[in-house]
Structure 1
Amino acid sequence: MEAKKKEHLKLEKQSGLYLAIGMALILGLVYTALEWKTFDKEIGMYGPDLILPDELEPEIPPHLLITPPPPPKIQVPEVIEIVADDPTIIETIITAVEPDYTTEVPTVDQIAFEEVETIPEVTWVTIEEVPVFPGCESSDNKRACFQEQMQKHIRKNFKYPENAIDMGLQGKVYLQFTVQKDGTIGGLKMRGPHQILESEAARIISKLPKMKPGKQRDQAVKVPFSIPITFKLQ
């Protein structure tokens, strides 16, 4: 019995090719679907049909003005009472002191000048009469006697601070004080290597006695005096 279909028209022979073509089409569609990208149409923030003016005027918010209440009306009394002057009240009459065209201008000869004698600032070297240390009243050279008595006073009251000995402190403390117009000591200034030594030097100066003040043109004046105190460990 002969076959009904011809051998060259059978589809089974091409099934492998058709399967490969179908798989390729499916993979292509899947890849295209995964990689497909869409973009939204760009629209401005005011919309596509919004027309803006060249200059934008800011909108001013409404401002509420609070007006103060009107002042109270002053009620005038119907009857005005006239009060008599009080004799105990003394009126102060103020006269103008500003010059005008009728003011007479005094000449130089009519103006009285008061001569004020100014005393220049003095130093220990330029003072006419140096301060007198107690015990130097009868000395011919009171300047040298003052310095000698100062050295005696320092040696008499000198005491090396124990803290300075323990710390090994030594050096010079430069002192400057002022003999005031009444003979007392003030205006102490000092500069030294350590505060402990400065405190001891200030203690020595604080024990100075009251002196006879120095004079310039027969007037008592302030006289500064400087001296160093040496602290030296044996």
Structure 2
Amino acid sequence: MRPKKNPQLELRKNSKLYFMLGMTFILLLIYLALNWKTYYSDNNWDVGDLKVQDELIEEVPFLKIKLPDPPKPKIQSPPKIEIADDEDDIKETFIEPNDVDQDTKVVAIEDVAVAEEDIPEEIPFILIENAPVFPGCENEQTEKDKRACFQEQMLKHIRKNFRYPEVAQEMGLEGRVSVVFTVQTDGSIGNIRLRGPHESLETEAARIISKLPRLEPGKQRGTPVKVPYSIPITFKLN
């Protein structure tokens, strides 16, 4: 059967191509419309007149200050030289030298004053030469081992004497109590300072520290000194 229309004149043949061209053209128009910018042609802005006050010129009066006359230099009269007669006896003053020689007397050692060593009364635990020694750590060989033993014994003492306050348990209180105490020169514990979330927790921490045994005091150049030490005690409910 012979077709009625020419296949080459079919409009649907390139419909996709025409659709893509139309969409591209429309998107180009939208892009140009969105980026279209306009500017004001009139650059004359309405600004107010700024009135500036004329410069004020003030005449500064001249002050005449009379300075005092400089002091007159003192002219010292030359020393008076008297010529003595040959027959007069003149006694000359003899100046003894201060140089040391073999005849100079040496001061005894007992008479030499020795200045006392300037050692602070209190030295922090981290800076002291010989830290306080906890009972049971005396046999440690090095200073580093003694400090490590001190830390370990402190933790054992806290765990052994730890008791959660009943008031804190009922109120559900938890937190950390910062404890600072001082090892005195005789090895006793004093000057206990506490900071915590509640008074009941601070009281319990003070009770634990008060049960510490007498320690061997810290020494600086062989002299016992006070040594402050700080440790946190954490209260946590299971």
Alignment-derived partner of residue 230 in structure 2: 226
SS of 2:190's partner is strand
CA distance in 2, matches of 1:211, 1:113: 35
Is residue 173 from structure 1 mapped to residue 174 from structure 2 by the alignment? no
Q: Which amino acid aligns with 2:137?
A: C
CA distance in 2, matches of 1:138, 1:113: 38
Alignment-derived partner of residue 125 in structure 1: 126
Considering only aligned residues, what root-mean-square deviation do their CA atoms show, in Å?
1.3
Q: Which amino acid aligns with 2:184?
A: Q
Q: Residues 78-93 of structure 1: matches in 2 within 5 Å?
A: none
Q: Which amino acid aligns with 2:191?
A: G
What 5-or-longer segments of structure 2 have no aligned partner? 1-111
**TM superposition score normalised by structure 1:** 0.51
Q: Which amino acid aligns with 2:187?
A: G
Alignment-derived partner of residue 70 in structure 2: none
Alignment-derived partner of residue 190 in structure 1: 194
Is residue 147 from structure 1 mapped to residue 148 from structure 2 by the alignment? no
Return the offset for 1:118: 1.1
CA distance in 2, matches of 1:220, 1:154: 26
Deviations 1:199-218 (A, max 9, x none): 00000000000011110000
Alignment-derived partner of residue 204 in structure 1: 208
Q: Residues 42-121 of structure 1: matches in 2 within 5 Å?
A: 115-120=115-120, 121=122
Q: Which amino acid aligns with 2:176?
A: K
CA distance in 2, matches of 1:139, 1:154: 22
Q: Which amino acid aligns with 2:125?
A: W
Q: Which amino acid aligns with 1:116?
A: E
Alignment-derived partner of residue 137 in structure 1: 138
Q: Which amino acid aligns with 1:135?
A: G
CA distance in 2, matches of 1:149, 1:181: 20
Return the offset for 1:227: 0.0
Deviations 1:162-208 (A, max 9, x none): 11000111100000000000000001001000000000000000000
CA distance in 1, matches of 2:195, 2:168: 16
Aligned-pair identity in percent equals 64
SS of 2:126's partner is coil
Return the offset for 1:114: 5.7
Alignment-derived partner of residue 64 in structure 2: none
Alignment-derived partner of residue 45 in structure 1: none
SS of 1:202's partner is helix
SS of 2:123's partner is coil
Aligned length: 123
SS of 1:176's partner is strand
Select which of 158, 167, 170 maps to 2:162.
158
Stretches (4+) displaced over 4 A: none
Alignment-derived partner of residue 214 in structure 1: 218
**TM superposition score normalised by structure 2:** 0.50
